[in-house]
Chains A and B, each alone.
Chain A
Amino acid sequence: MFKKVLIADDLGSINQGVSSILKDLKIKNIYKVQYCDDAYLKIKKAVFDKEPFDLVITDLSFQADYREQTLNSGNALIKVLKDEYPDLNIIAYSVDDRIEMIRGLNDVGLSAFVCKGRNGLIELSKAIKNVYEGKRYFSPKVASAFNDKSNLEIDAYDIKLLQNVSKGLSQDEISAIFKSSGVSPSSLSSIEKRLNKLKIQLNSKNTIHLIATSKDLGLI
């Protein structure tokens, strides 16, 4: 398990919760800071002393107070750390669970993201274990955004396909029409694949349900 861990959170009591989890995981060398700048300096010094941290757990939102901070959010801290120490394991732990924000952190190489919530501490524990094993972890609530490969967006091709289906044309006939009018892809198999994808996207049980839903949404 990790030997040396740094917790950055401006609320001591949350720190306490986190440290209780770490104790359960038999991690003894725990350091706590309440400012991002402090976290950065401590990590830098540890590297300098040749006793670097194995893991950094940080909140994202820090309350501004009388101390002027260079790094005033967990996001900024993560970006700087990942820039200087790409191999450093960082877990973000936050109330803010907006997917677009988490995607940004994912892009810079964040190891895990845990939503603060009812199961926050349990998820954090899982995250630490996963990261130790070299895996990445995202709370179930946000994981779908990364795992769900389906896109929300449907394109002009999809609309054309749905329109033809709604006219009662068979897949063979649609394929022929697409071929003659130069619409690509026009093969029977790709049309079938696309229809299945649309059924999943529109949460439809069959083709009839798909067309009904499309009509309801005014897509066709």
Chain B
Amino acid sequence: MFYYKTIAELKDVKYIAKSFEFFNKKANQALVLKDSVKSAYYLELIAVGQFKIGFPYDSEATSIKALKLLNGVNKKTDLNAAKQRLANQLGMIYRRLENFDNAHRYYNEALSLNNGLKGKIAILTNIANLYADQEKYKEASLVLSKYYNEVLAFKDSEIKATFIDNLGYFGSKLKDKKAILNMNKALEIRSKLKDLSGLFSSYRHLSLYYLEQGNLTKATFYSQRAQDISNIINTPAYQLEALAVKLNLENNQDFKKYIALSKAEVSKKQLRENKFEAIKYDIANKQKLLEENIHQLELSVLENEKQRTYKWLYFIIGLFVIFISIFTFFFLQSRHRKEKLKEVYITEKRISKKVHDEVANDVYQVMTKLQINNTNKNEKLLDDLEDIYNKTRDISKASSAIDLSSNFDIILNDLFFNYKVNGITIITQGVKDVDWNQVSVIKRTTIYRVLQELMTNMSKHSQASLVSIVFNQDKRKIEIKYKDNGVGAQLNKLSGLENVDSRIRAIKGNITFETSLGEGFKVNILI
């Protein structure tokens, strides 16, 4: 608290160095504890001190350091007040360094961060000073006079005094009659507050005012007071300024020249020195911006990468879904086909059994009755009946149930045996070489039915004496070549073999017929 007062009131220069040391330690401690806000606060205090004792560029460096710390804080906590103070501080520093653009920038920033009227007034005062420094007294006066009435309502304070003093001083420059009233009022407040730097400012302004008015006595008086105050403050900046005011009163061209030159020299020096910090801050800012950009870029690259990954993922999922759909479609279609085929075979079996049980048996029953009666007169009738009986039985047989439990090559062999009558020679080749266990029940049933129909057709119509059936297995395909030496047929009159064709096509097989009258009959089947 003592150190705070030391800086705030600038009473004893001896302790200022110690105060800096103390706050610096505090700031570092806070930094170790990762408390940027606190650290920034201590740095701010140092900056204020540095500025007050006339080290503007040191103050600038410290202020910027503090501001950076605050900008590095991510929290949404209310840092506006601190930021605004620092911005204002920087504004003042730049003003002192005659870097008007930067000064304006920081003042405006401070203004935008400030909500309180008092704070606003302080900043506005500074902005007005900035105009004044550029000898734009009209603008300066305009900035202040807007708030004049509000400020008058304030309790006496440094801010109020500075506001009024400055307004008065600007007024004096604009030859405003009321200017002196304001300046005296400010002096009164400052005396009451024992505001040393304020009093210095008042005396300086008054001295300048009276010099302009031509009242050399009063001007000298106030310049002397300003020098006294500067001696109390005991800092070179104030003392130099006081001397400058005093020398200004001496109507000596050499003095005036000296002051102008020294001021120019000082500004040049300051300009050089302050460039460093400003540039540093700019660089830091740019770096920060760059880092942010890089970070943004990385984020966007990451986002792109992510999106690309998602795109791929969606693409693959889409592809997968399509594949599954196609697969399911064909699977269902195939299953449907198989079920339909099964249904067909079941229906065939049922009809076959019906024909067998209800027609063939009935015919046989009649035949038996006639035989039991044992009358030879019935022979002709019996022949006819037998013919009907055989036909019905053949119809039944053509689609009766097949027991596929035993070896299929034996089943086929027996099937062919059924037709080895009336001097017909049947030769097979390769039946045993086919791996029938790998062939589905539906395919085996189809092969059986097709060969049965071909053989029936042969025995009924072909008058063939020789039949060969050759089997070949090539990987999963089975080739069956049927050939007989019968009378053949005209291809367009193969109506009896439509069933064969449709059966083969139902299991996606291939069948070709090759025949002409007198040329025998050839069938190639590929399943």
Contact = CB atoms under 8 A, between A and B. Distances in A.
A189 interface: no
Nearest to B374: A20
Contacts of B356: 61, 95-96
A11 interface: yes
Interface string A91-133: 0000111111101100000000000111011000000000000
B389 interface: yes
A145 B485 CA distance: 23
Contact of B466 (A14, A99, A203): A203
A207 interface: no
Nearest to B362: A11
B492 to A, nearest CB: 24
B485 A117 contact: no
B484 to A, nearest CB: 8
A11 B357 CA distance: 9
Contacts of A100: 402-403, 406, 410-411, 414-415
A69 interface: no
Contacts of A218: 468, 470, 481, 483
Interface string A157-201: 001000000000000000000000000000000000000000001
Contacts of B402: 100
Contacts of A95: 356, 360-361, 364, 393, 396
Interface string A1-36: 000000000110110110010000000000000000
A98 B418 CA distance: 7
Interface residues of A, number: 41
A118 B353 contact: no
Contacts, number: 127
B368 interface: yes
Contacts of B406: 100, 103-104
Contacts of B368: 13-14, 16-17, 120-121
Interface stretch (B22-30, B173-181, B277-285, B426-434): B426-434
Interface string B342-360: 0000000000010011101
B214 to A, nearest CB: 141
Nearest to A146: B417
Contacts of B415: 98-100
B371 A217 contact: no
Contacts of B414: 98-100, 103, 145
Contacts of B360: 95
Given A14-B368, A61-B353, A121-B371, A152 B426 contact: yes
A99 B358 contact: no
B416 interface: yes
A144 interface: yes
Given A153-B413, A154-B428, A203-B425, A104 B403 contact: yes
B382 A202 contact: no
A197 B359 CA distance: 42
The residue among A63, A216, A217 with the most chain B CB atoms within 10 A of its own CB is A217
26 contacts: A11-B361, A11-B365, A13-B365, A13-B368, A61-B353, A61-B361, A63-B357, A63-B358, A95-B356, A100-B414, A100-B415, A101-B403, A103-B414, A116-B361, A117-B386, A117-B390, A120-B368, A144-B420, A145-B417, A148-B420, A152-B420, A153-B428, A154-B427, A154-B429, A202-B466, A216-B520
Given A100-B410, A154-B428, 6 more contacts: A10-B357, A99-B414, A120-B364, A148-B420, A203-B425, A219-B468
Interface of B: 353, 356-358, 360-361, 364-365, 367-369, 371-372, 382, 386, 389-390, 393, 396-397, 400, 402-403, 406, 410-411, 413-418, 420, 423, 425-429, 431-432, 465-468, 470, 481, 483, 485, 520
Interface of A: 10-11, 13-14, 16-17, 20, 61-63, 95-101, 103-104, 116-118, 120-121, 144-145, 148, 151-155, 159, 201-203, 213, 216-219
Closest 3 A/B residue pairs (Cβ) = A100-B414, A17-B368, A217-B468
